[in-house]
Structure 1
Amino acid sequence: MESPKHAGDIAVAVSKAYGIETMFTLSGGHVFPLYDGAVHEGMPILDVRHEQSAVFAAEATARLTRKPGLAVLTAGPGITNGVSGVATAHFNGSPVVVMGGRAPQSRWGSGALQEIDHPPLFAPITKLAFTGSGADSVAQDVEMAFRTALAPHRGPVFLDFHMDHLFSAAPALEEAPETLTPSPLEPDPDALAAIAQLIAEAHHPVLVLGSDVWMDRAEEVARSFVEEYRLPVIPNGQGRGILPAGHELLVTRARGMAFSQADLVIVAGAPIDFRLGYGWFGGKDGAPLAKVVHLADAPSQLTTHMDPAAVAAGDLSLLFWSLGAACANAGVSPKTYAPWVTQLSEAASAAIAADTALLESASDPIHPMRIYGELGRLLADDAVVIGDGGDFVSYAGKYVEPRQPGNWLDPGPYGCLGTGLGYAIAARIARPSSQVVLLLGDGAAGFSLMDVDTLVRHRLPVVMICGNNGMWGLEKHPMQMLYGYDVAAELQPQCRYDQVVTALGGGGELVTDPSEIGPALRRAFDSGIPYMVNIATDPSVAYPRHTTGI
């Protein structure tokens, strides 16, 4: 290979070998050699308006493509601005590598510009956070970063380089780096046999399919397992779409009944956290609590806050395939729980039918559900839907059912607002022929709307829908309930976020009449530019929540 000019060339060449196709960044002098390396390697550079969006874009790239994402951040505040994005990647198990600039080694300790030791800031929220040791070792350091990010359980890695090291000459790569993939972790057959026996004995089983089923490329074998053994499914996170909308075993709309009456809940590829009531299932009308089984892609992800009936860890494709064989050996018969499946399916169908009135509501002010009724008529099967918000996006989680896996993005269990624009940037690049829809609460819009400029500059059309109720709904209603008053929960009613988009070069409009929602959304999809439909919704409507998370 031709000798590179500096260490930045090597870092980018190794990144490219690991499948990196886009560098997300915000310009900074400490990382100029990485930009120069990207130019030499023909790697596109996509620059944003806030570093958090660069990390969110890299994270969404990892979640959509199931390959690593790369963000490059300049030293000091450039890197600290990315902390929330890295924390989000940590909680989502997203294989993201964040490369940072660092004050020169030759000036370290003398007060150079933006001199701060970054890795200790990232240690709690990464698999590995370290500083490259020099230009001579840059290839090995970058390889270590990507291999660590990709190894089960996937997650973010932070690596910074002293500025003078990046500008220094580095040894040429003799050949393209060998991008080793971790060997699949085999699940324990005895554990699977025990789980199969629990399924054989169950009369009210429920299977939760989480994000790691998608990330482990196990969606097809998981669906085959579900259909062979006729298990009712509730998806979680990016598990949405593994069973498409309308599938007879998809019982999301009977979630409350399923979890409260279950005698066995199998959670696959998701943490047993607040979204799943911390594992407290069953127990309705004095019945025993449900037995809980946890399936994870790595032992580190198995629950520790409760004592489940059984656990198994391993590559989730192998795990579902092997569990199917174990169920056959255990004599699992779907007839045992067929009445339960029918009961849940009928309850889900009834709930869907009952939605019609609000999905078609002509109420003024606009009920948020009317927006999802109109949107559902326009979404293509391969549409990527992104949620960034509280109350408004909670409705999406309930009423937008993906038709294909890998097409739903939300912030995940960390719950960080402001992910939306970064996610939308990545989605448009990763899925160039698909609809990309970003759902924003008006609170969330304030975190990252300036990156509409990024969409415009890089010609990335996205449909943005803002549910604008003029407040922080997740805070205002609970404060009113607790104290009889609220503070710090008001936003400007009907704030013209659409005009922000048009000022930045996109398109947009404000909608206050429910009959205009559908036409406005069609104009947005037809526009071919970043376009916001800013919809004024009824501030008295709050998404119903339960403290258990069920």
Structure 2
Amino acid sequence: MTERIEGHGGELALAAVRGYGVQEMFTLSGGHVFPLYDAAHRTGFPIYDVRHEQSAVFAAEAVAKLQRRPGLAVLTAGPGVTNGISGLTSAYFNASPVLVLGGRAPGFRWGAGSLQEIDHVPLVAPVTKHAATVHSPDEVVGAVAGALDIALTPHRGPVFLDLPLEVIFSTGEADPVAPAVPVLEPDPDEVASAARLIAGAQRPVLIAGSDVYGGDAVGALRAAAEALRVPVFTNGMGRGALPPGHPLNFAKARRVALAGADVVVVVGTPLDFRLGFGDFGDATVVHVVDAPSQRARHVEPAVSPAGDLRLILTAFADHTGDRADHESWIADLRAAEDAARAKDAAAMAAETDPIKPARVYGELRRVLAPDAVTIGDGGDFVSYAGRYLEPAQPGTWLDPGPYGCLGTGMGYAMGARVSYPDRQVCVLMGDGAAGFSLMDVESLVRQRLPVVIVVGNNGIWGLEKHPMNAMYGYDVAADLQPELRYDQVVTALGGAGETVAKAADLGPALERAFDAGVPYLVNVLTDPTDAYPRSSNLA
């Protein structure tokens, strides 16, 4: 017979999350959640603390995304929770299984004006899969386990529980609860119909997104692409699903592919602004999703199988019907890809004064290891990263996702370093984004979590300044102080860094950064007149 769990509310909650593979807690200290710290301290459960609650949630999200298991953030009551809402919202848009445990003013005195007394649940409910208050210590284990089952059930996402003072400080007991995450079986007729469309297409294209990695379906994706001979493009954490050099892996010819395709298969990513809202001209659209809730409502795909992506993609690979010859189509795309790569290579080698962002990424490509975790936190500068950097392995690229929230950088860096102590971790940050979270370098220094931070410092909000000028002929609220020494901020916080103004100095600076063993910021002065050639409609 399994032994019952006994203890105060913090002990009960921690015992429950351990059963789901959670291995660490991200937090900012607060008295409302002391019992959780007590339980962690007495059992050797690692605690990583930050300087702003948003970083705690972003760190938990990074763990959830990279390791495909729950990440845990613990936030104190009131402003602790509200400071974490942007992180929760990002996790919601990114389908990240994050559990946020919040402190809460005591229920027995509710309405009398206790410190930080506010009902969090209505605030976070719109950006979580589940949000609730636990009202008894005996309910803690079941509530935590139930919330984590919801977080892990596709379509995955964040969940929130708050624990009033009288619950978290009081003792209770419960039976342990085993994970119960269902597997959603897809409709076999819808899967077969989609497979026939792909196989019979003359010019098919497959676009794979973050849910392919999150659903552990990378191997099934490769098998399906190879069996059906379909060119593959990727976005989000789908990047690297097919390694560079794979004959069906494409990155630079997407516009050509979508303009010429007769069937576009989108797997594990929404038909949002990143994909032109699913408007692919005359092409037939197949939208493969991990849950019915993710089916597009603004377009009507020919078929939209919903369910476990491994099962769907494996069925695609096993399709034995007649397959059209796609080789001339693949060859056409390869020619367009090679031409675009040659153009990009020239840009990445350009010797300009000031430095162009492309050159920064040309130098980074030389020093990044195949398993490096690369984090994007910014606008134009990070858009260039998406264009010029190609992850060699799946699960190594983190960006804010479709919500586009700046300030993820230091939290993601912490979660990545905790996940992979021996890999390179590199944060790519615009100078605007640096203002959101750079103080959390101190958290990295203090907890001995070295990362490399590359700031593209052009002294402007580039994503706003250039478009506003194009629209109005002027801009406002789009300038920052030019040539600020963000490297000196990091040095003052216990790390190290340097400013780079010449392209020839980039390579040696990056090598010093990766060899430093401390958080190290390379502050690159980039060309403020250089605007990312954005063609997508964001709204």
- What TM-score comes out, normalization by structure 1 length? 0.96
Q: CA deviation at 1:324?
A: 2.1
Query: Residue 455 of structure 2 corresponds to which residue in structure 1?
Result: 466
Query: Residue 180 of structure 1 corresponds to which residue in structure 2?
Result: 180
SS across alignment from 1:380: coil
Superposition pairs for residues 204-215 of structure 1, below 5 Å?
204-215=203-214
Superposition pairs for residues 265-414 of structure 1, below 5 Å?
265-282=264-281, 289-325=282-318, 327-328=319-320, 330-333=321-324, 335=325, 337-414=326-403
Question: How many residues are paired up?
Answer: 537
Q: CA deviation at 1:200?
A: 3.1
2:460–2:479: 8 Å Cα contact kept in structure 1? yes
Tell me, yes or no, if structure 1 residue 240 matches structure 2 residue 242. Answer: no
Superposition pairs for residues 15-414 of structure 1, below 5 Å?
15-171=17-173, 173=174, 176-182=176-182, 184-282=183-281, 289-325=282-318, 327-328=319-320, 330-333=321-324, 335=325, 337-414=326-403
1:250–1:345: 8 Å Cα contact kept in structure 2? no
Query: Residue 285 of structure 1 corresponds to which residue in structure 2?
Result: none
CA distance in 2, matches of 1:548, 1:54: 32
SS across alignment from 1:34: helix
How far does the alpha carbon of each residue in 1:363-386 deviate from its partner, in whole angstroms, 9 at most, with x for none? 100011000000001111100000
Q: CA deviation at 1:213?
A: 0.5
CA distance in 2, matches of 1:100, 1:192: 41
CA distance in 1, matches of 2:6, 2:494: 39
Query: Residue 438 of structure 1 corresponds to which residue in structure 2?
Result: 427
CA distance in 2, matches of 1:196, 1:147: 31
SS across alignment from 2:530: coil
CA distance in 2, matches of 1:225, 1:103: 52
SS across alignment from 2:89: helix
1:88–1:414: 8 Å Cα contact kept in structure 2? yes
Q: CA deviation at 1:3?
A: 6.8
Q: CA deviation at 1:181?
A: 2.9
**One-letter code aligned to 2:497:** G
Query: Residue 429 of structure 1 corresponds to which residue in structure 2?
Result: 418
Unaligned runs of 5+ in 1: 283-288
**One-letter code aligned to 1:111:** G
Superposition pairs for residues 520-535 of structure 1, below 5 Å?
520-535=509-524
Q: CA deviation at 1:193?
A: 1.7
1:12–1:41: 8 Å Cα contact kept in structure 2? no
Superposition pairs for residues 500-539 of structure 1, below 5 Å?
500-539=489-528
Q: CA deviation at 1:547?
A: 3.5
**One-letter code aligned to 2:289:** A
CA distance in 2, matches of 1:39, 1:472: 43
2:19–2:179: 8 Å Cα contact kept in structure 1? yes
1:385–1:409: 8 Å Cα contact kept in structure 2? yes
SS across alignment from 2:391: coil
RMSD: 1.3
CA distance in 2, matches of 1:150, 1:311: 22
2:20–2:179: 8 Å Cα contact kept in structure 1? yes
2:225–2:317: 8 Å Cα contact kept in structure 1? no
CA distance in 2, matches of 1:156, 1:452: 25
1:13–1:41: 8 Å Cα contact kept in structure 2? no
CA distance in 2, matches of 1:185, 1:136: 31
**One-letter code aligned to 2:28:** L
SS across alignment from 1:387: strand
SS across alignment from 1:312: coil
How far does the alpha carbon of each residue in 1:83-128 deviate from its partner, in whole angstroms, 9 at most, with x for none? 0000000000000010000001121110111100000001111111
1:89–1:95: 8 Å Cα contact kept in structure 2? yes
Which stretches of structure 1, 4 residues or more, deviate above 3 A after TM superposition? 1-5, 547-550
2:92–2:127: 8 Å Cα contact kept in structure 1? yes
How far does the alpha carbon of each residue in 1:225-259 deviate from its partner, in whole angstroms, 9 at most, with x for none? 11222111110100000011222212210011111
Query: Residue 544 of structure 1 corresponds to which residue in structure 2?
Result: 533
CA distance in 2, matches of 1:69, 1:98: 8
Q: CA deviation at 1:37?
A: 1.3
**One-letter code aligned to 1:453:** E
Q: CA deviation at 1:448?
A: 0.2
Q: CA deviation at 1:177?
A: 3.1
**One-letter code aligned to 1:170:** G
How far does the alpha carbon of each residue in 1:194-225 deviate from its partner, in whole angstroms, 9 at most, with x for none? 11221233111100011000011000111111
1:63–1:94: 8 Å Cα contact kept in structure 2? yes
Q: CA deviation at 1:356?
A: 2.1
CA distance in 2, matches of 1:26, 1:429: 17
SS across alignment from 2:171: coil
SS across alignment from 1:234: strand
Assess, with a 3 A threshold, how the Cα gap between structure 1 residues 471 and 4 changes in structure 2: closer, same or farther. Answer: same
Q: CA deviation at 1:4?
A: 4.3
**One-letter code aligned to 1:96:** V
Unaligned runs of 5+ in 2: none
Q: CA deviation at 1:541?
A: 0.3
Of the three residues 477, 480, 484, the one matched with 1:488 is 477
- What TM-score comes out, normalization by structure 2 length? 0.98
1:9–1:40: 8 Å Cα contact kept in structure 2? no
Q: CA deviation at 1:409?
A: 0.3
